[in-house]
Amino acid sequence: MKNTVITKNIDDLGRIVLPKDIRKKLGMEIRSSVDVRVEDEKIIITKVQDSCIFCHSKLNLTDFKGKKICHNCLSEIK
């Protein structure tokens, strides 16, 4: 994905909204998890993959080439 910079305002509750087109490009759905990290003067928001890339299960996940895959889907691939 190409680097994108968008200026957003913080609302009264301290929230920002991630634009729909960015969420869609990253495959983020409602209730997706993100990591929020502070480095010097930067706030870095990173998508967290917390479910299987195939079936979206959150159980028995293993890391395979940087992606999360549940044991059931991994055994089907083999």
How high is the pLDDT of residue 1?
A: 63
Task: Please choose, from the candidates 35, 37, 8, 38, the residue with its C-alpha nearest in 3D space to the C-alpha of residue 20.
Answer: 8
Fold of 1-47: Pemi-like Protein 1; Chain: D (2.10.260)
**What's the rounded Cα separation, in Å, for the pair 72 and 56?**
11
User: CATH 2.10.260.10 in the chain, residues?
Assistant: 1-47
* First-to-final CA distance of the chain: 30
**What's the rounded Cα separation, in Å, for the pair 38 and 20?**
24
pLDDT tens figures, 18-67: 999 999 988 888 888 899 999 999 999 998 888 888 998 989 999 888 88
**What's the rounded Cα separation, in Å, for the pair 5 and 20?**
14
pTM: 0.61
